Chains A and B, each alone.
Chain A
Amino acid sequence: MQLDRTAVATLGCVLGGAALLASLNLLTPAASAVHVPDFVISVVGKYLCYAILALAVDLVWGFAGILTLGHAAFFALGGYAMGMYLMREIGARGVYANPILPDFMVFIGWNKLPWYWYGFDHFWFALVMVLAVPGVLAFVFGWFAFRSRVSGVYLSIITQALTYALMLAFFRNDMGFGGNNGMTDFKDILGAPLDRESTSAGLMLITAIVLAAAFLVARAMTRSRFGKVLMAVRDAESRTRFLGYRPESYKLVVWTVSAVLAGIGGALYVPQVGIINPSEFAPGNSIEAVIWVAVGGRGTLSGAILGAVLVNLGKTWLTSALPEVWLFAIGGMFIFVTLFLPRGIIGLFAARRPAAGTEPKSAAAEAAAREAAG
């Protein structure tokens, strides 16, 4: 596979940046001027997880035209799967020192581990679940949705209802996932204490590598023949169907892959932030992920990563410096980007040198659709 300049730059930034930060954190003394403090490492790790989620959203929205308002659900499900492993890993070190039951179960008076918690004491099992749970849910959901040709705004609203329903469900204590408080107080992962700085730097590096791999996979997918059909579906679904393709199959594949990717992002996210709770399912989170992609550039994989990192940098800075301005800023960003910057930041550069051809021609396509309709 040939890598163009943008792809090389993206991979270089992600991998090189992560390696540089990690080594500056671990190898320089704390007093040194170039020392990178621990919190930067954990914040960057978080951004990289968000970037994985942004890639997932971009795959479905940028390339298949499915505006998802519920991708945070898959992210959170992956996170919960990892959280369950980390919970079991605590073992008898919890407040109630129960070797089997997590603290919150002892607290609500359960004396037996529910069946769906079996197996999560093995890391490999948790990894399988990280992939399987979001994947299966997305497959079932997509199977119904795409086959009955739910599309456009309706699909967006039911994805939002999906994540909302999951949020309400996970808020319940008797679901057995910690209810309102979720899961926290994790001790270590695969025997490595989570509060040690080498662990967090390592997790950040792993996240960077996974992100790079996800970027390459997504790039391969979208550049292949499959990707071309996908973009045809995005731009003119009926025409693609009339040409003999089955748009629902293409959508279902990319939707499931994207959900699995989001789940991986969530699984990497939980050990780095140390908590997972039902608010991760909040519909607002999913829409925020969409705006990362929109800011960076919909339909460009590098743009998704760029947008996720930039918007979250801004969020971290604004919520601590001027907390009341943050909602104005992100709200304004939604409006500004949709009105004036439909192709995002990447689009600004791409406009100068017309190449790629991967940008969505959404405006044109939809204008055509409007003509056709009425």
Chain B
Amino acid sequence: MGRRGAGKGGQCWRHMSPRIALRAALLVLTLLLLLPTAVPMRAHAAAGDPFAPLAATNFDVVARGVRSLAVSGNPRAVAVIDALRDGKLFAWKWPRPDAPLFIRTDNGFVDARSGAKVEAPAPVNLRRIIVNDSVRGAIDTAEGALGLFSKSVAARRRAADTLYQSADPGALSLIERALQSEKDAGIARVLREAQAAALLKSGLKSGTGAVEARLAAVHELAARADLPTRSLLASLQGQPPAVAAAIQSAIRDIDRRLQLWGLLENVYYGISLGAVLLLAAAGLAITFGVMGVINMAHGEIMMIGAYTTFVVQHLIAASAPALTQYGLLFAVPAAFLVAGALGVVIERCLIRFLYGRPLETLLATWGLSLILQQAVRSIFGPTNQDVTSPAWMSGYLNLGGLTLTINRLWIILFAALVLGALMATLRWGGLGRSIRAVMQNRRMAAAMGIRTPWIDALTFGLGSGVAGIAGVALSQIDNVSPNLGQNYIIDSFLVVVLGGVGNLWGTVFGALTLGVVDKFVEPFAGAVLGKVLVLVFLILFIQRRPSGLFPVKGRAAEA
């Protein structure tokens, strides 16, 4: 349909050449006033002499000429557009009905239309065709479209995407030809969508067939639920009523699907925040949940884990640069050992004198946290340390309408691994068995020959070691500074409290709930107010269920 119209227009063009200037001026005017209706005229011009508009002095005419040239299927199109881009395309300086175009080559001039070598015109008669931003944009699109017949699948795919984005009715014939030869199903689909978009953009031609084709085009587009398609559909005007209605419902449909993707995205962000909280709270679930020790220095132990990552990274960069990409793999055990050892020291030197006095423990460990912070500040300085992320942790992953950051995915995976290892240790490990025995009945465990003080120290060391590992993960998503731990301490206590003390599954639940709720409240309440609301909710929640969602039942619960 588009092609037929273009052919008729082309004949007119041949016979009315003296009116070129008027025609061009009219074209520009119409374009400025009524952009969509200018479209068929452009098609007329293109099919007649696709090169003529390039000689125009108006940039918009040139830009349109470039686009129509690209889709005309003319074998000289590539050479001419390249020449235009490189500033080697020249036009006759004075008005001439045949508007000759020349390409300057290293050895003389060639005729742009035929590629035949011509005698060099006098420079005074030549005008270099200059390129402005809109023409350059058209060139980029054109070069994209020209890739449609490339051998490379990637280039064809790129070209198809470009065509879809430009939704140029002038490209319809080109798309049809490309569709006939296209073997790749994915590219063919994009091409069909491009065809649909171009068709909808093209001017109205009466006839019922046109309406049906348009309806089919709307359906084709509606399947592609993304923002550009939505804005494309929303920008369409002057459609027949049935098509307009179909467009409206397609937009609603797309909105619904976008909303669904947005929801999924929020869930993902919530889970990734939950994973961070889970990492931060897992250690606390041991020290606070199992041992009942309020450790306000927990955040600082995470901070020390993050600093261990920084040190390990430096050591590796200095001694074995080849392993830089895998520094994190060494940092995890290092952080566990450093933080775990620190935990054992803290337990032996401080906590063990305060068992059964939770409030005093709270104060003493708060003091300890201040000391650790200041110690790190004195050693490493108050500024943020630079911990680099390895290449395999950066980048994005596109999944349907979702864009997932790879490092968050790793952290979710890592949190699951850490939690699994921790649960396995507690359940099947020898240390885990002793820990559970001491927790359940200290005197009986002692009577069975378990050295309970030593188990206390190791339990605390285990919890601190997990905090250190959490620090490794935090170093990838947060600033490594002496204040790192403070940002997480209140949240992680809330997680443990929400999930119930002494229950790792409760901690998982608490962390994920807190993360997801946080991310869902955020969009309509803002980040800070969202945080406040979550805190208020938790305060109210704790008052309704003072021992969490999964309270420990039985006699020990009242202790």
Spell out A's residues near B (CB within 8 Å): 67, 69, 141, 144-145, 148-150, 152-154, 156-158, 160-162, 164-165, 168-169, 171-172, 283, 287, 290-291, 294, 324, 327-328, 330-335, 337-339, 342, 362-363, 366-367, 369-370, 373-374
* Max chain A C-beta neighbours (<10 A), residue from B531, B532, B556: B532
A334 x B356 contact (CB < 8 A)? no
Contacts of A150 in B (CB 8 A): 542-543, 546
Q: How many A-B residue pairs have CB under 8 A?
A: 130
Q: Given A156-B359, A331-B367 in contact, is the A144-B558 Cβ separation under 8 Å? A: no
A161 x B490 contact (CB < 8 A)? yes
Q: Given A144-B540, A149-B546 in contact, is the A327-B370 Cβ separation under 8 Å? A: yes
Contacts of B494 in A (CB 8 A): 157, 161
* Max chain A C-beta neighbours (<10 A), residue from B369, B494, B546: B546
- Secondary structure at chain B's binding surface: helix, strand, loop or mixed? helix
A161 x B544 contact (CB < 8 A)? no
B294 on the A face (CB < 8 A):
yes
CA of A67 to CA of B362 in the docked complex: distance in angstroms?
10
B371 on the A face (CB < 8 A):
yes
Contacts of B542 in A (CB 8 A): 150, 154, 158
Q: Which 6 pairs across A and B sit closest by C-beta, in order of nearness? A: A334-B367, A331-B370, A373-B559, A327-B374, A331-B371, A165-B535
Inter-chain pairs besides A69-B362, A290-B363, 4 sampled, C-beta below 8 Å: A168-B531, A327-B370, A331-B370, A339-B350
Contacts of A337 in B (CB 8 A): 363
B181 on the A face (CB < 8 A):
no
B366 on the A face (CB < 8 A):
yes
Chain A residue nearest to B443 (CB atoms) is: A374
Chain A residue nearest to B373 (CB atoms) is: A327
Q: Given A338-B354, A339-B350 in contact, is the A287-B366 Cβ separation under 8 Å? A: yes
Q: Given A168-B532, A330-B367 in contact, is the A157-B493 Cβ separation under 8 Å? A: yes
Q: How far is the CB of B359 from chain A (nearest CB, A)?
A: 4
Q: How far is the CB of A274 from chain B (nearest CB, A)?
A: 26
A67 x B359 contact (CB < 8 A)? yes
B377 x A324 contact (CB < 8 A)? yes
CA of A367 to CA of B546 in the docked complex: distance in angstroms?
23
Contacts of A168 in B (CB 8 A): 528, 531-532, 535
B357 x A362 contact (CB < 8 A)? yes
Q: How far is the CB of B260 from chain A (nearest CB, A)?
A: 31
Contacts of A154 in B (CB 8 A): 497, 542, 546
B334-355 CB mask vs A (1 if < 8 Å, else 0) is: 0000000000000000100110
For chain B residues 277-314, which have a beta carbon within 8 Å of chain A? 294
For chain B residues 507-554, which have a beta carbon within 8 Å of chain A? 526, 528-529, 531-532, 535-536, 538-540, 542-544, 546
Contacts of A369 in B (CB 8 A): 356, 559
CA of A339 to CA of B360 in the docked complex: distance in angstroms?
8
B368 on the A face (CB < 8 A):
yes
CA of A343 to CA of B540 in the docked complex: distance in angstroms?
34
What would 16 A/B residue contacts be, using CB atoms closer than 8 Å?
A: A67-B362, A69-B362, A145-B543, A148-B543, A153-B359, A158-B543, A161-B539, A162-B539, A165-B532, A168-B535, A169-B532, A287-B366, A331-B370, A334-B366, A362-B357, A374-B555
CA of A153 to CA of B559 in the docked complex: distance in angstroms?
12
CA of A333 to CA of B370 in the docked complex: distance in angstroms?
11
A328 x B371 contact (CB < 8 A)? yes
CA of A141 to CA of B526 in the docked complex: distance in angstroms?
25
Q: How far is the CB of B24 from chain A (nearest CB, A)?
A: 49
B321 on the A face (CB < 8 A):
no
Contacts of B528 in A (CB 8 A): 168-169, 171-172
Chain B residue nearest to A326 (CB atoms) is: B374
Contacts of B538 in A (CB 8 A): 158, 161
B362 x A161 contact (CB < 8 A)? no
Q: How far is the CB of B102 from chain A (nearest CB, A)?
A: 60
Q: How far is the CB of A177 from chain B (nearest CB, A)?
A: 13
CA of A327 to CA of B378 in the docked complex: distance in angstroms?
11
* Max chain A C-beta neighbours (<10 A), residue from B366, B369, B526, B529: B366
Chain A residue nearest to B540 (CB atoms) is: A144
Q: How far is the CB of A332 from chain B (nearest CB, A)?
A: 7
Contacts of B262 in A (CB 8 A): none
Chain B residue nearest to A336 (CB atoms) is: B367
B364 on the A face (CB < 8 A):
yes
CA of A324 to CA of B482 in the docked complex: distance in angstroms?
13
CA of A153 to CA of B546 in the docked complex: distance in angstroms?
11
B453 on the A face (CB < 8 A):
no
B240 on the A face (CB < 8 A):
no
Q: How far is the CB of A240 from chain B (nearest CB, A)?
A: 16
Contacts of B544 in A (CB 8 A): 148
B108 on the A face (CB < 8 A):
no
Chain A residue nearest to B355 (CB atoms) is: A370
B490 x A342 contact (CB < 8 A)? no
